[in-house]
């Protein structure tokens, strides 16, 4: 088993994952257009590359954690992409790229004799740092056996199928459900606030009742009621995930009425707060329309 790995995209998720690989004894060559991101990883023991081709010249297995399917495709198959180096054997895509993106990537890599592991992750920046992510992998069983020891450094893995794209579909459904729970809980919080009910007390009751979700148990107490809004997942990336899920639903003729409403709220929040705004700030447009701020007068602010 090779101890030499490549890692492209060392952002909020990629950087802590690359660090875990270095800590586990792998030699990791990294590329990212952000010089600051590279400098931080080099301090942690990584080798720097100046493009994806240099990464795959140094490592036969390369992991990706990139924003969009288009960027993933370009890093793998474009000019100066991974496939321009002959030694590349396996690409593990940890990004959320949607089922179609994963199929295009796998086909493009297969044309170069390179294996594709479709392996999105769930669990956020905190999970990436602590090695407690939930990973879902879709690839041939022999590829899975080869990459499993690497991926176990990030958390728990389920081998969900043999065809790239299957893990991505599960991931984008998961993310649509997750953001929809956050959206409806945000509406509930604003309603409680406007009615004079302590939003923190609302969450306390919801969390022992049937309305609870990851949003009510984790994101809202930590990042909304404290008004830190620093969960670490960008509104633009969430909007991309929801688009990928709704595109797939449309292609398969499945109505997504509730999901479409969540998408509209994301579009508004992204317009007001920018694509780099934090997902947990999704509540801010609702507060603006209602003319209240959650926590105001109840001592919930940090």
- Considering only 5, 10, 192, 225, the residue that binds ligand NAD (CB under 6 A) is 10
**Count of residues that interact with ligand NAD, criterion CB under 6 A:** 27
- Considering only 29, 56, 83, 96, the residue that binds ligand NAD (CB under 6 A) is 96
Tokens of 40: 């931080």
Hey, which bits of the chain come out as E strands? 4-8, 27-31, 47-48, 61-64, 90-93, 115-118, 121-122, 133-138, 155-161
Q: Which is nearer to ligand NAD, 12 or 159 (CB)?
A: 12
Tokens of 112: 């170069």
User: Does the protein bind ligand NAD through residue 121 (CB under 6 A)?
Assistant: yes
β partners of residue 90 = 61, 115
Select the span of 28-36, 111-119, 201-209, 211-219 touching ligand NAD (CB under 6 A).
28-36
Write phi, then psi, for 195 (nearest 5 degrees): -85, 0
Q: What is Dmax (Cα atoms) for the chain?
A: 65
3-state DSSP assignment of residue 62: strand
* Shortest Cβ 6–ligand NAD spacing (Å): 11
Query: Rounded to whole angstroms, how far apart are CA atoms 67 and 18?
Result: 16
CA separation (Å) from 284 to 53, 187, 259? 42, 10, 19
- Considering only 5, 32, 188, 273, the residue that binds ligand NAD (CB under 6 A) is 32
Tokens of 73: 């495709």
* Shortest Cβ 184–ligand NAD spacing (Å): 20
Query: Rounded to whole angstroms, how far apart are CA atoms 292 and 282?
Result: 14
* Shortest Cβ 281–ligand NAD spacing (Å): 14
- Considering only 5, 8, 235, 262, the residue that binds ligand NAD (CB under 6 A) is 8
- 54-93: contacts with ligand NAD (CB under 6 A): 65-67, 71, 75
Select the span of 121-129, 143-151, 157-165, 210-218 touching ligand NAD (CB under 6 A).
121-129
- Considering only 2, 34, 204, 260, the residue that binds ligand NAD (CB under 6 A) is 34
Query: Rounded to whole angstroms, how far apart are CA atoms 176 and 60?
Result: 34
- Annotation says 171 is catalytic: yes
The one catalytic residue in 43, 156, 171, 194 is 171
Cβ atoms 118, 137 nearer than 8 A: yes
Q: Which residues are known to be catalytic?
A: 171
Query: Which residues make up the interface to ligand NAD (CB under 6 A)?
Result: 8-14, 31-34, 37, 65-67, 71, 75, 95-96, 121-122, 124-125, 232-233, 237, 241
């Amino acid at each position: 088993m090779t101890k030499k790995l490549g890692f492209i995209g060392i952002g909020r998720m990629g950087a802590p994952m690359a660090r875990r690989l270095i800590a586990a004894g792998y030699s990791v060559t990294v590329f990212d257009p952000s010089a600051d991101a590279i400098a931080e990883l080099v301090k942690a023991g990584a080798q720097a590359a100046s493009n994806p081709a240099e990464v795959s010249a140094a490592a036969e297995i390369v992991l990706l954690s990139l924003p969009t399917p288009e960027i993933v495709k370009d890093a793998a198959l474009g000019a100066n992409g991974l496939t321009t180096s002959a030694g590349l054997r396996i690409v593990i895509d940890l990004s959320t790229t949607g089922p179609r993106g994963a199929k295009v990537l796998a086909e493009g890599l297969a044309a170069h004799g390179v294996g594709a592991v479709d392996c999105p992750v769930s669990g956020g920046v905190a999970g990436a740092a602590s090695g407690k992510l939930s990973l879902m992998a879709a690839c041939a069983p022999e590829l899975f056996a080869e990459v499993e020891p690497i991926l176990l450094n990030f958390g728990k893995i389920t081998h969900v199928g043999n065809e790239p794209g299957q893990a991505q579909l599960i991931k984008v459904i998961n993310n649509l459900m997750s953001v929809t729970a956050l959206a409806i809980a945000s509406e509930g919080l604003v309603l409680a606030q406007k009615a004079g009910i302590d939003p923190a007390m609302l969450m306390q009751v919801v969390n022992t009742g049937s309305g609870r979700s990851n949003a009510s148990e984790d994101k809202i107490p930590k990042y909304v009621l404290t008004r830190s809004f620093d969960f670490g997942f960008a509104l633009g990336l969430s909007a991309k995930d929801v688009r990928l899920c709704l595109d797939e639903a449309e292609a398969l003729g499945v109505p997504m009425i509730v999901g479409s409403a969540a998408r509209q709220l994301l579009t508004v929040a992204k317009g007001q707060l920018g694509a780099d705004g934090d997902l947990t700030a999704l509540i801010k447009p609702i507060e603006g329309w209602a003319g209240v701020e959650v926590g105001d007068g109840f001592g919930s602010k940090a």
